[in-house]
Structures are given as C-alpha cells and as structure tokens.
Copies of this chain bind each other. A is one copy, B any other.
Amino acid sequence: MPAAAPIDPAPLDGATLTERLKELAAFSDVPGELTRLTLSPAHKRAAAQVSFWMRQAGMSQVHMDATGTITGRYAADRENAKTLLVGSHIDTVRNAGIYDGNLGVVVAIAAVEELSRQGRRLPFAIEVAAFADEEGVRFLSTLTSSKAMAGLFDPSALDDMDAQGISRAEALKSFGAPVETLAECRRDPATTLGYVEVHIEQGPVLEAAGAPLGIVTGIAGASRGHVRVRGQAGHSGTLPMPMRHDALAAAAEMILAVEARGRADADTLVTTVGTLLVGGGAVNVVPGEVQFSLDIRSLSDALRARAIADIEEAARAIAAHRGVQVTFDMRHHVPAALCHGPLKDRMAEVVEDLGVPLVRLPSGAGHDAMVFRDVLPMAMLFVRSENGSHNPREYASPADIGLAARALYAFFLKTAEATTDA
C-alpha cells in the first residue's frame, strides 16, 4: 500500500465539520428549532444536501434506497473488493440537538473526502449511509432503513401510520424513495467487511472521564415494562397506620429495590423507574393503586434477565409483607449487540495513536448499529457530548469532532493494512 500522506486539516477540520452540522440543522420542519422527523419535507432537503456533499467528497454512486437511506459509494482500488459500511442517521427527534446522528454522517463523508483529496483508493470500497429512520418518533416501527440493509426489514412496517394517518409507504413515496426496490437494500455479508458508526455518547461518561472519544464495547440489551401495585384505598384521616395497605408506600419500597439492584452491578447495569401514576390519587386518600415503569439495560443479556428476576422477587416480598398485590408486565425485550472484537480493537488502536485517553464504554441507548448484531461485524466510536442528547443543548466541541474524523480516517487506513495483510 502507498505510504500515508500527511493529513490535511481541511476535510477533517472540526470547525469545518461543525459548520456542516449547522448547515444541516437549518433543514427543519419547525422554524426556530431542529425538528426533522423521518421522511418529512425537511428530511428530504437534508437528504439532498447530504447527497451533494457525498458527490463533492468523491463518491461516484450516490442514491436513495427504498427506505429513504442516502448511500454514497467510494470505489476500491481493485475489482471484486469487499465493502465497508459507515453510517448514522439524519432524522431527528422533536426540538433536537444538531449532533445526534448527523455527526456520524458528516464525519464519515469527511473521512472519505480526505481519501479522495489525497487521490487514495483502498483495497475495499466504502459506502456511507445516511439512514432515514432511527429516532422512532413518527411511526411505531423504527430502525427500518438500517434493518433493510441488514436484510431484516419487516414489510408490515410499510403499513404503519403516523399521527396524521399517513402510512410509511405513502411517506416513502412522497420522499421520493423507490419503494419497489426494497429487495435491493440488503447487503451481502459475504462481500461486506462490516459496519462502523460514529455517534455522540448521549451520556456523561466521556465528559466525566475527560476523554474526547470512546470505544463502544456494545449496545446494551433492554427490557421495558410496567409494574402495577394494588393495595386498599382509604381516607387519609380515618385509616390508622397499622391498618393501611398503601400502594404508593409499597411502590416506594419497590423503587428503592430497583435502584439498589442497578447499583449492585453499577458498571454493567442500569435500572430505572421513569414514570409513576397514582390511580385516583388525592391529597386525602391513602393510595389504593399505583403503576410505575421499569427500564432495565445491560450489555449482558444474562445479567439483565437475572436483574429482572431479582427485582420481581424483591417486589413480591415487599408486596407480601405489606398485604398488597403486585403484577409485572415486562413486554419489550431487545438483546444486547456486542461490538466485534477485531474492529473494536482496531478502533482502540487509532484512538490511542491520536494520543487521547482510551475509554471503553457500553452504549445504553439504541443505534442503527444494533440491527447488524447477527449479520455483520460492527463497531462504534463515541464522541464526548455535553448535556446528554435529544435536546437543543447537546454539544460536541469542534476539537472533539475533528478528532473523531481523524480517528475514522485512520481506521480506514488501518483496515486497509489488515485487508492487504489478509
């Protein structure tokens, strides 16, 4: 392979990339904020801008697939080469920040642009994907565009309706997506090297560690559901303490048990009660019924299952002791998606080469990357973000974004070495 040319700051410059993110943020369906739900008019304009940047970066084949994903292909230095997929999404939540998803797309285009600027081809093609459907705000189904690429698209998702009664199929048509080519979305694992995604962390771990970048170990599996506690309602003045079966006091004890279980495996488990409703609640009524949510996540599916069992056992003991009933309805379970060892290690190497601290961390949030779990080798690079995500105050610094672009570029080169060696 050719000797590495010195990296020109231009395409990989963090300030330049931040400018692009701001340009992209102007495509919003709601003036004064960034709201770009999947397949909306603003999404269509953003997709056009991304297509333009892809072509400008030297990608010869830029097109929209059947699910609204914009893909740009940067050819290999040889015939019959494999392809490395690099992606993230450009749909957003309502009143979003400008980094979530968009940063990964902008950085991927920049890394390809640097190859192109240097006139460099690698022994594999690179395909950048700007996915269309990650946030799951508009339709019930989500991750449909990355699932299509993994060969996991469920056609029933085409019939999903948004709040205005528009089906996903209709929305795709308005968007300009060639729905009839759905079968062509799938990438063949035999000719695909893997999937890589750069994304803001959406949590405070890198910030607390003083690290601009993080190697993702995997995407946590998640279980969600509801717990219902039934006690006996009564008058707050006339029902003596020893005769009470207070559903809220019981729920309070259970909430602390949920928290304690999470804390007991704090490095690999998070347990959250995010909502609580008191049925028929009033200041002067001893609560007779309470419902609260449960959200349990871990990179270890076994630990997640064990934690749920432990929480159920603790809650049943509390209920028995207090003479109340408790029922669990844990309906949604998504398994963990572990990052691929060699790809992850390669990402760690390039981060170390940049001279910044090496932090490995799981992703507690879901990402397009997770759909490739059983299909392709997958890796993710996190960028430090302030103020979480899904709000206008989320922030990644230009310096950190520049580091992420340089890391991805270096990852391409390292992958080229590995591919040539093989």
Selected interface stretch from A277-285, A372-380, A406-414: A277-285
Please state the number of chain copies in the assembly: 2
Is A256 interfacial (CB-CB < 8 Å)? yes
From B222, B238, B286, A365 is in contact (CB under 8 Å) with: B238
Q: Are B266 and A274 in contact (CB under 8 A)?
A: no
- A246-280: CB near B (< 8 Å → 1, else 0) gives 10110111011001001100110111111110100
Is A6 interfacial (CB-CB < 8 Å)? no
Q: Are B275 and A246 in contact (CB under 8 A)?
A: no
From B262, B276, B293, B364, A276 is in contact (CB under 8 Å) with: B276
CA distance A276 to B284 in the complex (A): 12
Q: Are A240 and B274 in contact (CB under 8 A)?
A: no
Give me the 3 closest cross-chain CB pairs, A-B, nearest first. Answer: A237-B364, A203-B238, A236-B272
Q: Are A240 and B270 in contact (CB under 8 A)?
A: yes
Smallest CB separation, A79 vs chain B (Å): 43
CA distance A418 to B336 in the complex (A): 82
- A356-396: CB near B (< 8 Å → 1, else 0) gives 00000001111000000000000000000000111000000
CA distance A234 to B363 in the complex (A): 14
Is A228 interfacial (CB-CB < 8 Å)? no
What are 20 A-B pairs with beta-carbon distances under 8 A?
Answer: A202-B238, A204-B240, A204-B243, A205-B240, A224-B283, A236-B270, A236-B295, A236-B364, A238-B365, A241-B262, A241-B263, A246-B259, A246-B272, A248-B273, A252-B256, A252-B259, A272-B283, A272-B286, A274-B283, A274-B286
* Known contacts A246-B259, A295-B283, A235 near B389 by CB under 8 Å: yes
Size of the A side of the interface (Cβ < 8 Å), in residues, is 58
CA distance A160 to B222 in the complex (A): 53
Q: Are B242 and A263 in contact (CB under 8 A)?
A: yes
- A198-237: CB near B (< 8 Å → 1, else 0) gives 0001111100100000000000101010000000001111
CA distance A205 to B259 in the complex (A): 36
Is A297 interfacial (CB-CB < 8 Å)? yes
CB-CB < 8 A to A363: which residues of B? Answer: 237-238
Smallest CB separation, A169 vs chain B (Å): 28
Is A287 interfacial (CB-CB < 8 Å)? yes
Known: A235-B364, A249-B273. 15 other contacts (CB 8 A): A205-B243, A235-B389, A237-B295, A237-B364, A237-B365, A240-B266, A240-B270, A241-B271, A248-B274, A249-B255, A252-B253, A272-B285, A272-B286, A274-B278, A276-B281
CB-CB < 8 A to A388: which residues of B? Answer: 234-235, 238-239
Smallest CB separation, A289 vs chain B (Å): 12
CB-CB < 8 A to A271: which residues of B? Answer: 241
Smallest CB separation, A157 vs chain B (Å): 21
* Known contacts A224-B283, A275-B281, A276-B278, A249 near B238 by CB under 8 Å: no
Q: Are B297 and A236 in contact (CB under 8 A)?
A: yes
CA distance A203 to B238 in the complex (A): 5
